[in-house]
Amino acid sequence: MEDNEVFRIKKFMDIIKFICVVMLILIHAHMALVTNQYSFFDTSALSYEMTSRFMFIGLFITILPALAGYVFGLQKKIDIKKTITLFLLFLCVGFFMNVITWGWAYIFSWNVLQFVGLSFLVIAILMKFLTEYEVFLLSVITIMAAAFLSNILAPYNPNNWVAIFVGGRNEFVLWPFFPWFGVVGSGFLYAKYRVKYGGRKWFNAISLVGGLFFMAVAILRGEISARIDPDYVWGPSILTPTLGWILATLGLFLILVVLGSLFSEKIKLRKYGIINSYSKGIMWIYVAQMFVSFRMAIFAKKFFETDNPSIGYFLFMIVMLVIGWLVGVISIKLFQEKKMVIFLKKYNGE
């Protein structure tokens, strides 16, 4: 029974990952065009005003760690050796992305791939000694303790090793362990419950109500959207989040999972279709779009205006989406060809 539920979950996860990857590509492409990597060119421009108003869209990126924890939690048994290999893979790919995008000076910068790999390793180790519920409790503690630890360790934040855990104004460290591990851990536990109860209407109802409640709390706290710092766009204002921003992340995650489970049966995937390609090639698409959007934006800014909407701006977005699709197709062909044929036949009822 659980095997069938895991398969059903994987079906609607493809749709959710597709939506998030689309937003990931568009957001990074936009920021590559309207900033110089760290800050906005002109805070009086329409591009800055629109970015400020629609910062809440960034939630589609911040739920990616929850999705990662969710997928990791679908395993029947966590193999520590395989997890170590996965951790090392994420580290290497992340460091490779740093070099090709920003140069050797940034090789050891800490980004989402390194953070997710570390989170998987921590969960795998904890599961040797604790139950999944105790792991979740520790995840909640990382969320609640983040601000406290950040204040205590603030004098040491320039140190990269400290910043990896609590964040801060450090250009070499994004996605600190506190509080983001709490998002990964929450996704991990939710996967376990989803496998057990996901086919029941009451579980979907509780998940939806919970998601809406978290979003409502974030709105009431005035933290549904991260505050943008025009002088340091990838700084603490976004990646060292408030409690409301974390709750909004978890709320959107729950809502998307419920909606995905309701509508996935009506969608058929094609092996090289855009939904399947974006979903299965998510890591390589992330690496490619970081490199391509940053490099292409340097040249694009010379040919068309980026502070206000233009044909060139929208063409740039379309090109990035197409490149993402191509990278996803290549990823499937190189790494998942045989498994994908079997999966899609079962998925589409063939």
pLDDT, tens digit, for every residue of 164-219?
Answer: 888 776 667 889 999 999 999 999 999 988 888 877 889 989 999 999 999 999 99
Q: Which two tokens stand for residue 268?
A: 């058929």
Q: How large is the average pLDDT for residues 74-86?
A: 91
Give bridge partners of residue 251 from the DSSP assignment. none
The answer, yes or no, to whether residue 93 has pLDDT greater than 80, is: yes
Q: Which two tokens stand for residue 241?
A: 């989040």
Banded model confidence at residue 25, pLDDT cuts 50, 70, 90: very high
Give the tens place of pLDDT for each residue, 254-298.
999 998 888 766 777 788 889 989 998 999 999 999 999 988 888
Q: Based on the number of CB atoms within 10 Å of its own CB, is 318 exposed (0-12), middle (13-18) or buried (19 or more)?
A: exposed
Q: Model's pTM, two decimal places?
A: 0.89
Q: How large is the average pLDDT for residues 84-106?
A: 93
How many angstroms separate the CA atoms of 159 and 234, rounded? 18
Query: Cα separations (Å) of 276 from 28, 61, 92, 272?
Result: 21, 18, 25, 6
Q: How large is the average pLDDT for residues 331-350?
A: 61
